[in-house]
Amino acid sequence: MPKAPSQTTGSGPIVQIADVSFSYGDALVLEHVDLCVERGEFVGLVGPNAGGKSTLLKLILGLLEPQAGRIRVLGEVPSQVSDRIGYVPQFPSFPRDFPISVEQVVTMGRLGIGSSLGWYRAADRAAARRALDEVEASDLSKRRIGTLSGGQLQRVLLARALAGEPEILILDEPTANIDQRGETDVFDLLATLNARLTILVVSHDIAFISDYVSRVACLNRTLTCHGTSAVDGDAIHQLYGDRVRLVDHSH
């Protein structure tokens, strides 16, 4: 899959992280982290368990504040632009038998964007339909979420993020619970979306995402960026030690 050139326009970096450090109590999780994500990039964030990936995402989303350093998203303090960020969390922890339909889940992506009274407008429902269409899941709209496969649910959560018409899409391990075919489908879809959206995706699968992303940010308390061609066995070993082996994903 060739990497799509960005067609998005605008100026200034989408995410700017400068010399950020973060601790939970005495435990230092992020140390002097710098990262700049330019408009139209597709960046993969990789690293070992407990390396700080989810913490960094929470800082970018404005759910946590750094003790040192500075973060700007779309030029603003993150908490002020949360409605311009599309976030797909790690495999959802809510009970799958919750009685809610796909279209209700996707329309929830409009919360905070529509009427201040909390009612959905026709424009919100239209945005939800467009988002479902974009992830090729319109046929699922009336289904209860409990009846979906892992891959289908992931598409629906992606549609929920897209319904808010974000400028950046942030995904936390979007393919952690789906099979290889589903993983390829999700990343093919992300590659298409990258033609108009900046994307930051967390993954454990450095070899697989290297076929899609334009840059890999390796995080293990400190952060180092690599072009995908530089992600070789040495870089992976440096990051993960002996805890990982390179898996050939040619399929």
Ligand X SMILES: Nc1ncnc2c1ncn2[C@@H]1O[C@H](COP(=O)(O)OP(=O)(O)OP(=O)(O)O)[C@@H](O)[C@H]1O
User: Least separation, in Å, of the C-beta of 203 and ligand X?
Assistant: 10
User: Least separation, in Å, of the C-beta of 81 and ligand X?
Assistant: 22
Closest CB to ligand X among 29 and 128? Answer: 29
Closest CB to ligand X among 39 and 53? Answer: 53
45 contacts 219 by C-beta, under 8 angstroms? yes
DSSP for 161-209? HHHT--SEEEEESTTTTS-HHHHHHHHHHHHHHTTTSEEEEE-S-HHHH
- Please give the Cα distance from 155 to 131 (Å, whole number): 10
Closest CB to ligand X among 89 and 150? Answer: 89
H or E element that contains 236 = helix 233-240
Name the site residues for ligand X (rule: CB under 6 A).
24, 29, 47, 49-55
- Please give the Cα distance from 63 to 43 (Å, whole number): 21
User: Least separation, in Å, of the C-beta of 125 and ligand X?
Assistant: 35
User: Least separation, in Å, of the C-beta of 48 and ligand X?
Assistant: 7
Closest CB to ligand X among 26 and 242? Answer: 26
- Please give the Cα distance from 53 to 47 (Å, whole number): 7
Closest CB to ligand X among 191 and 231? Answer: 231
User: Least separation, in Å, of the C-beta of 244 and ligand X?
Assistant: 12
Q: What are the C-alpha distances in Å from 89 to residues 67, 213, 226? A: 24, 19, 25
Strands 15-24 and 27-37: antiparallel
